[in-house]
Amino acid sequence: MPKLLTRDLVEELNMRSEYTTTTQIEMKPPSTTTTSTRDDDGTSSSTVISELYAIMESVADRVEMHTNMGEQRDNWNHLLLTSINAITVAAATMAGIAATGGMGAPLVALKLSSTLLYSAATGMLLVMNKIQPSQLAEEQRNAARLFKQLHGKMQTTLALRSPTPMDAKDAMAKVLALDKAYPLPLLGTMLDKFPATVEPAVWWPQLRGPQQEGLGGKTERNGWSGKLEEEMREIVGVLKRKDTEEYVRLSKIVLKVNRILAISGPLLTGLAAVGSAFVGSPHGSWAVFLGVVAGALASLVNTLEHGGQVGMVFEMYRSSAGFFRLMEEEIESNLKEREVERRENGKLFEMKVALQLGRSLSELKDLAASSSRNGKATKEFGSKLF
């Protein structure tokens, strides 16, 4: 019995010793080779990773801010639209009641109330048409979506490979470009809602590349070949001639409509205010007609402009044109890179272009072939998504 107990005790102690050793090995911190790895400029990998995580935190915060601001400005649009229409209808009703035969103090009170309400509606419409709340909300929605997209790309970079200092610089440049393209404050930095010239939205830093050299032959390097380069050039031509040009044209049409509505609304409420002020005068019939009909038309115009969210439609078309402009610049930037090995992998890039246009790889090749055969006579648009 003593021998058996001693043997069992020794075995138990050995097991405990092995468990402790194993636990100590498993609890050791990761190798410090990452912290000692340095890039050509002397920046350690851990420093670059820390920078990227800091930028990601800032991007996530911006996503939350732009989402909240978009909801707030969408609420502005609904509340202001409802309030102004209610004020306008009340003023028109008072002008009509005043013309039914009121005399003395009741007539003066109704006229004065109607005029004040129309004047208030005119001032509120001027402010609302200036800031275009529906367009402001669309800007913030676009900004939130683009910041989420940037956040996802940074996560992918960290998951697939060790980041370089250039990755951190590019991420910082993209964040600053988005801040400039979609500012948060209203005063001072708000985008012009009625620009003199319509251009596609730009939310990315300028993409530059050296003079294009190209492969020229059939040799394939890094997924690129002469045939793929020609296909990409044809895709760029289609996007420029059809998609970008079409959305810029639509943006111009919507902007003209919005400008007419933005001028007509305050003008009609102003005329209605003048008409209501002259109710009961020798020219009372015309004054009543102006005070009631102009008020009704003002409510209609206001509903068409802000209920239909014409400003949001303009921003949507402008952003769509910007999306195609970005695709053009990304393709051209890759084609202009002299060193093919420094380009994005050709097969992967082709797949990305196809997905962005809502096409399969075979459909993308067919589009390039059709553009090569027909040139400017090609009627097909590049994108099948929108």
Residue 65 lies in a domain: yes
pLDDT tens track for 326-340: 999 999 999 988 888
User: Would you say 301 and 264 are in contact if contact means Cβ atoms under 8 Å apart?
Assistant: yes
Judged against a pLDDT cut of 50, whether residue 26 lies above it is answered with no
Segments forming the whole domain that contains residue 152: 43-187+223-374
Residue 196 lies in a domain: no
pTM: 0.83
Using CA atoms, how far residue 144 sits from 68, 309, 371, in Å, is 9, 19, 35
Residue 321 lies in a domain: yes
Residue 210 lies in a domain: no
Judged against a pLDDT cut of 90, whether residue 62 lies above it is answered with yes
What pairs with residue 187 in β-bridges?
none
| Mean pLDDT, the chain, integer | 86
Residue 107 and residue 281: Cα distance in Å, rounded?
A: 11
User: Would you say 339 and 167 are in contact if contact means Cβ atoms under 8 Å apart?
Assistant: no
Nearest to 92, CA basis, from 296, 263, 271:
296
The structure tokens listed for 174 are: 């993209």
pLDDT of residue 378: 79
Residue 206 CB neighbour total at 10 angstroms: 9
Provide the number of structural domains found in the chain.
1
Look at 62-76, 123-137, 228-242, 271-285 and tell me which has the smallest mean pLDDT: 271-285
Residue 1 lies in a domain: no
Residue 360 lies in a domain: yes
Contacts of 225 (CB under 8 A, 6+ apart): 215, 218, 219, 346
Stretch 130-135: mean pLDDT, rounded?
A: 95
CA angle 121, 84, 92 (to 5 degrees): 70
Residue 78 CB neighbour total at 10 angstroms: 14
Nearest to 142, CA basis, from 322, 367, 366:
322
Of residues 45 and 224, the one with the higher pLDDT is 224
Residue 209 lies in a domain: no
Residue 80 lies in a domain: yes
pLDDT of residue 8: 53
Nearest to 175, CA basis, from 202, 201, 146:
146
